[in-house]
Amino acid sequence: MPKSSTKMASVVYLLFGFHLIVIMSSSLPATSEVFAKQYPSTEPVEEKLTQLHFYFHNNITGEHPTAMKTVLPPKGSIHGFGATYMMDDPLTEGPSPTSKLVGRSQGIYALASQHEPGLLMVTNFLFTLGIYNGSTLSILGRNPTFIKVREMPIVGGTGIFKYARGSAVLTTYVYDITGGVAIVEYNVTVMHV
C-alpha cells in the first residue's frame, strides 16, 4: 500500500473514531449541575402554634440509669469539660417519675464550658401520647444548667411538628448533683405546619 493510502486510511480511522465518540457521548445521560430548584407554593401554608408542658427526668446513677457517660473528660478538665453522655430520658405529664409518660428525650449532651457548668444538648423529643404519637421535636443548643430558668431553641420536627421552630423554657425542678438526678420542667412553644 502506497504511503498516501496509509495516511488516508489513518485519517479515515481517526474521523470514524471521533464520530463514534461524539455519538456515544450524546447518548449518555446528561449530568445536572443545578444545586437546588425553587418552586412557587401552590397552596398557602397555614402555620399552627402548639404549646406543650412536660417534665424531663435524667438519672445517671442507680440500677437503671437513663443517661450514661460515653466520653470521660480529659485529666485536669475544669467543670468536667469534655464529658459526654448519651440519654434516653422519660418525659412525663407531671414532676413525679411515676406520672403519665408522654415521650422520651433521646440524644447526647456534653459539658461544653470551661467557665461554668453548661451543656451542649442535641436531642429529639419523641412523643408517644395521643395524636402526637411518633412525632418529634429537635433541640440543639446551650443549656446553662445552674441557671434556674433558661431557654433553648427548637430547630425542627417531624410528624405533626413538621417544619417546627420555636423555643423551650426550662425550669429546674429537682437537681441532686450527688444523686445524679435532675428533673426539669419544659414549657415549649412551637410553630409548625
* CATH at 82: 2.40.480.10
| Digit-coded pLDDT (tens) for 13-33 | 555 555 555 555 555 555 668
Q: Which long-range contacts (CB under 8 A, 24 or more apart) does 103-109 make?
A: 103/54, 103/127, 103/128, 103/129, 103/132, 104/128, 105/56, 107/139, 108/70, 108/84, 109/67, 109/84, 109/85, 109/143
Number of domains in the chain: 1
**pLDDT tier at 108, thresholds 50, 70, 90:** very high
Pick the more confident residue, 35 or 126: 126
| Digit-coded pLDDT (tens) for 46-104 | 899 999 999 999 999 988 999 999 999 999 888 899 999 999 999 999 999 999 999 99
**pLDDT tier at 180, thresholds 50, 70, 90:** very high
Question: Is 6 a member of any domain?
Answer: no
Q: Whole-model pTM?
A: 0.78
Q: Is the pLDDT of residue 5 over 80?
A: no
Question: Is 34 a member of any domain?
Answer: no
Question: Is 2 a member of any domain?
Answer: no
Question: Is 32 a member of any domain?
Answer: no
Question: Is 62 a member of any domain?
Answer: yes
Question: Is 142 a member of any domain?
Answer: yes
Question: Is 22 a member of any domain?
Answer: no
Q: Residue 86: which of 124, 53, 113, 55 has the closest Cα?
A: 124
Q: Domain range for residue 109? A: 46-190
Question: Is 68 a member of any domain?
Answer: yes
**pLDDT score of 79:** 83
